Chains A and B, each alone.
Chain A
Amino acid sequence: MAYLIILIPFALLALLNLLPARSRTPIAFYSTLVLLAGQVLLSPFELVRSAQFEAMLGFNLLLNNFSLILIITSGIILLASLLTAWAMIKEDSKRFNFINLLLILLIAMNGLAMAKDIFTLYVFIEAISVATFILISLNMDKYAFEGILKYLILSVVASALMLSAIGLLIMSSGSLLLTDIRGFIFPSGGTVFSQAAMTLFICGLLIKGGVVPFHGWVADAYSSASPPVSILLAGIITKAAGIFTLMKVMTATLCFTTPVMDILLLVGAISIVFGALAALGQTDIKRMLSYSSISQMGYIIAGLGTGTPLGILGAIFHFINHAVFKSQLFANAAALEQQLGTRDMDKMGGLAQVMPVTGTTSILASLSTAGVPPLAGFWSKLLIIIALWLSGNYVYSIVAVLASVITLAYFLSLQRRVFFGKVPAELSGVREASALLLMPAVFLSALTVGIGLLFPFILKMVMRQ
């Protein structure tokens, strides 16, 4: 089954590029739509298993519950991005290029989710990065190019750190398999070399995740990329390449040593506060959401930094919840940008009257991000804050609560400036976005509400496993 999750998108990519140029774009759209829906719905089931075929391929992959988190979440976010792209990109060739890159991203993320070896993880992260550089440049915007350049430079630094770490790991432990590295590191803590290697690898992942102090490229790239790419960037790309891999490596190797946990807690807390404060001062809606993403990423890292099962569980849930509600907020921003032609919140107002679906879904996602009960974001933040408190990190716990209040403040400010009040005269002709563009927002907000309401049952089910 594991190899099919990689091979089917690859086969589709190859087939689509063999089709005649005139008819291939709609075929590409519908087949990718079906593929992504299939991935979300069917990947939890063990459908096909052929040991002979797996041995022939020689792919060293492992499909477990942890990898399913990324496989399903990326399926959902890529689906939302695909629908937004179809609604917003008008040229056939651009649509086709976007779908090609989306499939490459899908293969890389699925591979990343199932990789068992630290070098294979690195190669898949590089594949995600290359596809991301090109996706951001699709818009040919000069600020996007500035964002890419910053991302490219930081990515090279991250790659150098990760490759050095891999070299040190193979020198000290003699293996690159995550299970072997765990055997070497845990419970003795490993040698100085293996500790240095893990620290370098984690630093590389934090750069890829765009957390403070490596956040310079995030706001430029997120805000200047085309709307479907912004959904991908904020929803899944940085999280998969940075945060998910960090969670995977940490939980697989059990390298929860005191220095590593201290670094994660500090980076997490600084990201939470910096992101929230920077978001407060923004007038461009996408830049505000970008800084908000940095802040929410901080919560995930802080949860992981506790090193406790509760904190890790909170981090995993916040990873999923943040992917859903942040993608939805970027889908709302896409609807606003298309209907209004601007991202400046000071030029908006009263839009809930003329764009009721966008307004309602945006309020739901904002409240979920701020951690208002009973929405999904509340539960995952609660788990992280409790884990911080129980692990004795009282200051970080209070910082996380206070930053949540700031999050609520900037999202209420966003809602007031964009959706409440009177519609300015120049926006009187504005209508609701197209059904296709609203579909991702409605679907994602249903997920936010659904996960929130069913969370106690979901948590019980996860704890039982």
Chain B
Amino acid sequence: MNIMIFLLVLMLLAGLWAVMTSLLLRAAIALALTSVVLSILMFQMGAPLAAVFELSVCAGLISVVFISVISLTHRLPLKEYLARRQNRILRFWFLPVLLAIAGLMFFLFKQPVEVHTPARLLLAEVRIVLWQLRRLDLFTQIIVLLAGVFGVLILFGGNKENGN
């Protein structure tokens, strides 16, 4: 249990860092760290497949996309960067306070909860869940992906036509 609490706190801290840092690269790294810790939590809770997806897609693929986009941006002059860093800390000072209060409240007013934890799924069962029980959701994911593809074609195709 102690390791779980340690990991949860670590995940929250990494999440806070992602929001509060003024450097895009650090924010991307912090987000990847959040995903890595979440993956470990998922392994701990007996969901290895969810953990693998989280690790490969969120911590891996998405971080690569973020970092490649950030590599296309320009660095701010030091003076402007320092001013922005100050603003960012002032703007989000309440976030750690809010998290601390929420954590304290949960700790003080915790209630025994009857939780329906699903039994650990075997790989074959996961296949059944994905391909048979949630087939409609997979179909909808294809629709979402198609919408994304049309979006890229429209937004970037339009830019090409306009010469931008």
Contacts and interface: CB of A to CB of B under 8 A. Distances in A.
Interface string B131-149: 0111111011101101110
A107 B143 contact: yes
A174 B141 contact: no
Nearest to A134: B151
A138 B147 CA distance: 13
B146 A13 contact: yes
Nearest to A14: B146
A414 interface: no
Contact of A126 (B136, B144, B150, B155): B144
B96 interface: no
B140 A172 contact: no
Contact of A130 (B136, B144, B158): B144
A251 to B, nearest CB: 21
A127 B140 contact: yes
A104 B150 contact: yes
B75 interface: no
A12 to B, nearest CB: 13
B147 A111 contact: no
B111 interface: yes
Interface centre among B115, B135, B153, B154 (most CB of A within 10 A): B154
Interface centre among A13, A60, A130, A174 (most CB of B within 10 A): A130
Nearest to B132: A58
Interface centre among B111, B133, B147 (most CB of A within 10 A): B147
A195 to B, nearest CB: 13
Contacts of B117: 171
A124 B132 CA distance: 18
Interface string B112-144: 011111000000000000001111110111011
B136 A59 contact: yes
A283 interface: no
18 contacts: A57-B135, A58-B133, A59-B135, A93-B157, A101-B150, A104-B143, A107-B143, A108-B143, A120-B136, A123-B140, A127-B147, A133-B151, A134-B147, A137-B155, A138-B154, A171-B116, A191-B113, A191-B114
Contacts of B134: 119
Chain A to chain B: the 3 pairs with minimum beta-carbon distance, closest first: A174-B116, A134-B151, A130-B147
Contacts of A97: 150, 153-154
A173 interface: yes
Contacts of B114: 172, 191
Interface string A186-223: 00000111000000000000000000000000000000
- Taking residues whose C-beta sits less than 8 angstroms from the other chain, chain A's interface range is 35 or more
Contacts of B151: 130, 133-134, 137
Interface residues of B, number: 27
Contacts of B113: 171-172, 191, 193
B159 to A, nearest CB: 9
B39 to A, nearest CB: 17
Given A104-B146, A134-B151, A172-B114, 18 more contacts: A10-B143, A58-B133, A100-B150, A101-B150, A111-B136, A119-B137, A120-B136, A120-B140, A127-B140, A130-B148, A137-B151, A171-B115, A172-B113, A172-B115, A172-B116, A173-B116, A191-B114, A193-B113
Given A123-B140, A171-B116, A131 B147 contact: yes
Contacts of A100: 150
A10 B147 CA distance: 12
Interface string A106-138: 011001000100011001101100110110011
Interface string A156-173: 000000000000001111
B150 A134 contact: yes
A193 B151 CA distance: 38
A447 interface: no
A212 B146 CA distance: 32
Nearest to A104: B147
A257 to B, nearest CB: 19
Nearest to A7: B139
A127 B146 CA distance: 9
A120 B146 CA distance: 18
A214 to B, nearest CB: 20
Contacts of B139: 6, 59
A318 to B, nearest CB: 28
A137 B136 contact: no
A140 interface: yes
A120 B115 CA distance: 22
B135 A111 contact: no
Contacts of B137: 119-120, 123
A386 interface: no
Interface centre among B111, B134, B150 (most CB of A within 10 A): B150
B141 A123 contact: yes
A139 to B, nearest CB: 10
A126 B142 CA distance: 12
Interface string B80-107: 0000000000000000000000000000
Nearest to B113: A193
Contacts of A170: 116
Contact of A58 (B115, B135, B150): B135
A93 B154 CA distance: 9
Contacts of A171: 113, 115-117
A127 B116 contact: no
